[in-house]
Chain A
Amino acid sequence: MKFNREMFLKNDFRIVVSTFVGISFLFIIVAMILGLDFNGTVNTIQRIMFLSAVYAMVVLALNLQWGYAGIFNIGVAGFMLSGVYTMAIITGDPNGLIPGLGLPLPIGIIGGVLMASLLGLLISIPTLKLKADYLAIVTIGFAEIIRYTANALTFKTFSIAGVEMGTGAGRGIHLPMNPIRGLYYTDPSNLGLGKTVFGEYVFGFFEIVQVQSSVVVSWTYAIVLIFVVGLFYLVIYRIGNSPFGRVLKAIREDEVVANALGKNTDIYKMKVFAIGCGLMGLAGILWQGSYGYTNPTTFQPILTFYIFIALIIGGSGSNTGSIMGGVVFASLLFEGPNFVRRVIMHVFKFDKAPNSIIEAVIPISSLDLGPFVAYSLANISSLRVVFLGLVLIYIIQNRPEGLLGDRKELAASIDISRRPVIETKERKDA
């Protein structure tokens, strides 16, 4: 197998871009079938891109922990929640219904990341000695404690050293305005007050092709997120493809050996916990931040499992695979079924789905499958979980290494697959 670092990176970039393009193309076709106008099509692709980027970020962070170091953290949702909530509390209006500290957004984001990171560090210390499944139990328990805490009425409002703040309990918490709006509007909180020069110009341009201003704003945010995915990749690539990453891999393979070879594995695990959880917190902030509001229900354990599925599909241990997994999961597996439903409903013109399974099944006896299909489609969000299960079983059995997991992404800062002498010779030739 020939291995060439530069080619490899170029190829990876190409793989990711062509996946993005391919999936966009697919959804353009879907939008055409659904008869969406240009604005609707553009908006659909924006939603797919946004969710793909969010998943890609979290999966990358998880890959650092699980793919590289073999740390079985299934408390991902909890660390995302702590990032988002900390950010919300720091930036919240001190005089609001659920009071916050009223600090600027950047401080909120940094605070959120630090909090998620700190909690990761905290949980890592007592669990250093735990092996895979035991660690998994602790992390999911911890994540649930965090979620229940956010959900608890006790903490709806509370005060620390006389400063009022709160989580808003089950009703959720407001998040600060997405700063992207500030690019386009003079007053992001009151859109009616007018647009900035940049906003006038861009909106004007997109009005020609009949794309609404709200779609333009969301697209801008999606592009920012895709850029952030690139940053995540860079950070984790640097950590993973280095002597540090080598130690992480060694911990994954056999911690005793890493230790016997003079590596203080505890410290490495703590660092990976802190960084990975911090990045998860950041991903959570960037994800929920666009909605202006979040609640504890968003961060149920299933979210963690979705992220794990995405990582397994993409290929645990591969950073490019992580991005691919995130994109494929978010677009095809998560959003896909909804579009399948819409397309079938649209094409076959089912008027109404029956209300119960009985009403759906009985017509089958008279060879009328329509109501059953309509019923299944109406409940596609439940069927999606079944579908995910099937995909997972298929992958585990037929391609356990995931889409890109079979490749050797060597943990080194330089190309260690070839003898340096040969390399310099080839360079001279080239």
Chain B
Amino acid sequence: MSSSKTKKKQSRKKKSAKKYPLKVEKIGKKFGGLSAVDNVSFSIEKGSITGLIGPNGAGKSTTFDLITGITSSDTGSVKFNGEDITGKRPYQIANIGLVRTFQITRELKEMTVMENVMLAPKNQIGQQLSSVLLSRGRRKIENQEAELLEKAWETLDTFHLDKLANEYAGNLSGGQRKLLEMARVMMMDPSMMLLDEPMAGVNPTLKKQIITLIKKLSKDGYTFLLVEHDMDVVMNHCNPIIVMHNGGVILEGTASEISTNERVIDAYLGGSE
């Protein structure tokens, strides 16, 4: 009897994991005596474009670091698709479909844009040393490379980087680097993307196109969590919006709820709570 109960519980859990692929529970991180992130919890709904906002130093990027395993959290847990990913290594988290971009772009400078993009895809046969060295796997690698190359060109088209394919990533402008980061992440085909200020430095026309792309993907079931300072983008396209301040979440709600909330206004205008 008890087993059927747990089964029920499990199935319910699974259902909620299906609806909420990312669940952050009470995570916290201290650097020295300073608590960068403190007792932060939220769940992200599948197919949503959730905004994560807050003034500088609110702990948004650190939260991203904690979720993706770049920094290990002191307390709390993170679940992705029902699986506990707390303490997992960044590559493990990326490979199960949760991928991020960085606020300060981390393009691979002395690699071309194309190399950057071709690096990302998962399960590349040619990333196995044995298949690279043995002649037998050669054909397979080349075929897969050709496939990936086609996808890479399409992705570069999407982000208007196709003309820069052979340029070293280090020579790109700030906005182009942001685009490259996104292109790279798209090549991994993750089910959820954490985008850290993806629009910073991107020109308005392209910004619109990226928003359209994100919206289209979210309709297809991809989930987005984005940190963004461009309030236009956040207020018009993100739902829900999570507001962080001083390392904690102060509110989660719709754009209209956020814009009328006293605490949020205080946080942004520098008032204390």
Contacts and interface: CB of A to CB of B under 8 A. Distances in A.
B110 A253 contact: yes
Contact of B166 (A247, A408, A414): A408
Interface in B80-139: 89-91, 94-95, 99-100, 102, 106, 108-112, 114-115, 118-120, 122, 124-129, 132-133, 138
Contact of B118 (A260, A271, A412, A420): A412
A260 B195 CA distance: 13
B172 interface: no
A254 B149 contact: no
B145 interface: yes
B70 A260 contact: yes
Contacts of B152: 416
Nearest to B68: A260
B245 interface: no
Contacts of B99: 260-262
Most chain B CB within a 10 A radius of its CB, from A252, A256, A260: A260
B40 to A, nearest CB: 20
A295 interface: no
Given A412-B118, A417-B166, A262 B141 contact: no
B141 A243 contact: yes
Most chain A CB within a 10 A radius of its CB, from B100, B108, B114, B138: B108
A260 B90 CA distance: 5
B91 A263 contact: yes
Interface string A388-424: 0000000000000000000010111110110110000
Contacts of B95: 262
A310 to B, nearest CB: 21
B146 A261 contact: no
B266 interface: no
A231 to B, nearest CB: 12
Contacts of A261: 91, 94, 99, 119-120, 184-185, 188
Interface string A233-265: 001001100111011011011101111111111
A246 B100 contact: no
A239 B133 contact: yes
B90 A253 contact: no
Consensus secondary structure, chain B interface: helix
Interface residues of A, number: 38
B129 A271 contact: yes
Given A250-B108, A260-B100, A244 B166 contact: no
A7 to B, nearest CB: 16
Contacts of A417: 112, 114, 165-166
A414 B145 contact: yes
A193 interface: no
A146 to B, nearest CB: 25
Contact of A262 (B129, B132, B142, B188): B188
Nearest to A240: B132
A291 interface: no
A68 to B, nearest CB: 11
A239 B108 contact: no
A417 B163 CA distance: 11
B111 A250 contact: yes
Nearest to A254: B106
B91 A262 contact: yes
Contacts of B109: 253
A243 B89 contact: no
A318 to B, nearest CB: 12
A400 to B, nearest CB: 12
A205 interface: no
B127 A263 contact: yes
Contacts of B120: 261-262
B115 A235 contact: no
B74 interface: no
A413 B131 CA distance: 12
A315 to B, nearest CB: 12
A1 interface: yes
B117 to A, nearest CB: 9
B42 interface: no
A249 B100 CA distance: 20
Contact of A420 (B102, B128, B150, B168): B150
Ranked nearest first, the 5 interchain pairs of A and B with the lowest CB-CB distance are A243-B126, A262-B94, A253-B108, A243-B124, A259-B90
Given A252-B110, A412-B145, 12 more contacts: A238-B132, A243-B124, A243-B126, A244-B127, A250-B119, A256-B90, A256-B106, A258-B119, A264-B89, A412-B118, A413-B138, A414-B145
